[in-house]
């Protein structure tokens, strides 16, 4: 492995859903003060998939612009991270590979460990590039977070996909060594195979997250990582955006530093804007935070960014990245804002209908009405097989 090889994120693109439920609408239904959502957890809206949308359609929509810009000739691996997989055996990335017409000489694999999976995929990709710098890896993190109706976690739901092209001499962010890692066997959030919705112990999950922040940082420093003050910004996993602030305060305390709210806002504030509108996207959440930071910051050239990825159960990792000169020329800020603004607001009744939608399990032919205006859709479940199709051609922009 070449120690001086620069490897990292060469391109980044995200997508979300056709519909959005605002927290104003949710609060009106619940008879709740909307401030409980806006100020309490830092959420303003949540993306809701149409009946013909899922992790595959979002993933393909996120990845298509990357393939259009760079081509697929050097992409020999697709790593798809998700905890809301559409099949227990087949990797969701194979559907994406097919929809995007990628070469057959490609390895495709799916990774799972709650919300941490996206970072596992990124590190998997970095290792592959160190082995062969001529290759590129397409990393996709896509999820639909779903809790039972009227559950305390309901207000944090969301859905999105982030696609990242990982390669040598990256145009956006160089991923640094070392990493600090932490694992503990905790049942703070989980979804048994027989359930469509997750189970969560909210109080335990916050405690477990903060424990993992402390453990991952401790290991990072023991591995010879940067000092805390060297980082200009921090991208945390965001099950809800206020959790990033809790986590950063905890890290400052662990490091014996003063809790300065202006400093916290400066180091965290820009990373939460997309997540506040989209909701929790599990594996994609940290990298939506990165997208928001890169799209909005004045100039981060040469600056170090800290990443804290947490997945319930639990696994966490802290690592650093340096923003590359010229990165602003490669950003997709306009299309990212469009992905959020294009969503159609829905009523609570419509949201509930979509939330409770489920396919029959009889193996029959069950077509799905066209609802999404995105480039790819789930057309049917037929013979227990998911059938995907492009909605129309020419929608993947460079």
Q: Which residues are catalytic?
A: 83, 115, 237
Task: Compute the C-alpha angle 66/68/69, nearest 5°.
Answer: 65
DSSP symbols for 38-95 = IIII---EEEE--TT--HHHHHHHHHHHHHHHH-STTEEEEEEE-SS-S-SSS-HHHH
For the chain, what's the residue count? 398
CB 200 within 8 A of CB 313: no
Q: Closest by alpha carbon to 144, among 291, 1, 279?
A: 279
Rounded CA separation 156/146 (Å): 9
Task: Find all residues with CB under 8 Å of 256, minimum gap 6, and list them.
Answer: none
- Rg of the chain over all Cα atoms, to the nearest angstrom: 20
Look up tokens 């479940």; give the residue.
Answer: 381
The residues with which 234 forms a beta bridge, in sequence order, are 306
Q: Tell me, what DSSP letter sits at residue 133?
A: T
Rounded CA separation 92/232 (Å): 35
Contacts of range 225-228, beta carbons closer than 8 Å, 24 or more positions apart: 225/178, 225/180, 225/318, 225/319, 225/320, 226/176, 226/304, 226/306, 226/320, 228/252, 228/255, 228/257
Phi, psi of 212 (to 5 degrees): -70, -35
The residues with which 320 forms a beta bridge, in sequence order, are 306
């Amino acid at each position: 492995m070449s120690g001086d090889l620069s490897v990292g994120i060469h391109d980044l693109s995200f997508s979300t859903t056709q519909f959005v439920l605002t927290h104003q609408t949710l609060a009106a239904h619940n008879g709740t003060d909307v401030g409980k959502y806006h100020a309490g957890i830092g959420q303003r809206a949540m993306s809701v998939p149409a009946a013909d949308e899922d992790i595959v359609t979002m993933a393909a929509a996120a990845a298509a612009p990357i393939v259009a810009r760079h081509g697929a000739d050097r992409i020999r691996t697709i790593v798809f991270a998700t905890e809301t997989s559409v099949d227990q055996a087949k990797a969701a990335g194979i559907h994406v590979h097919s929809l995007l017409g990628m070469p057959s000489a490609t390895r495709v694999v799916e990774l799972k460990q709650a919300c941490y999976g996206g970072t596992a995929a990124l590190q998997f990709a970095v290792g592959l590039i160190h082995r062969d710098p001529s290759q590129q890896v397409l990393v996709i993190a896509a999820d639909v977070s779903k809790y039972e109706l009227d559950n305390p976690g309901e207000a944090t739901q969301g859905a999105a996909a982030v696609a990242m092209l990982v390669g040598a001499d990256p145009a956006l962010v160089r991923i640094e060594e070392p990493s600090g890692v932490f694992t503990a066997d905790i049942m703070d959030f989980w979804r048994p195979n027989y359930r469509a919705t997750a189970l969560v112990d909210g109080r335990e999950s916050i405690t477990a997250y903060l424990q993992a922040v402390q453990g991952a940082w401790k290991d990072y420093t023991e591995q010879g990582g940067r000092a805390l003050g060297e980082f200009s910004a921090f991208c945390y996993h965001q099950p809800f955006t206020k959790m990033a602030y809790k986590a950063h305060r905890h890290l400052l305390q662990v490091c014996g530093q003063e809790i300065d709210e202006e400093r916290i806002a400066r180091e965290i504030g820009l990373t939460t804007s997309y997540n506040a509108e989209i909701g929790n996207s599990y594996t994609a959440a940290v990298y939506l935070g990165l997208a928001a930071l890169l799209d909005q910051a004045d100039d981060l050239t040469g600056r170090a960014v800290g990443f804290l990825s947490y997945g319930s159960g639990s696994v966490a990792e802290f690592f650093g990245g340096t923003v590359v000169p010229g990165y602003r020329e490669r950003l997709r800020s306009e299309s990212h804002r469009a992905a959020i603004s294009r969503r159609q607001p829905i009523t609570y009744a419509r949201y509930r209908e979509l939330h409770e939608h489920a396919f029959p399990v009889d193996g029959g032919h069950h077509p799905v009405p066209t609802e999404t205006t995105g480039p790819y859709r789930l057309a049917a479940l037929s013979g227990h097989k998911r059938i995907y199709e492009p909605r129309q051609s020419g929608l993947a922009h460079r």
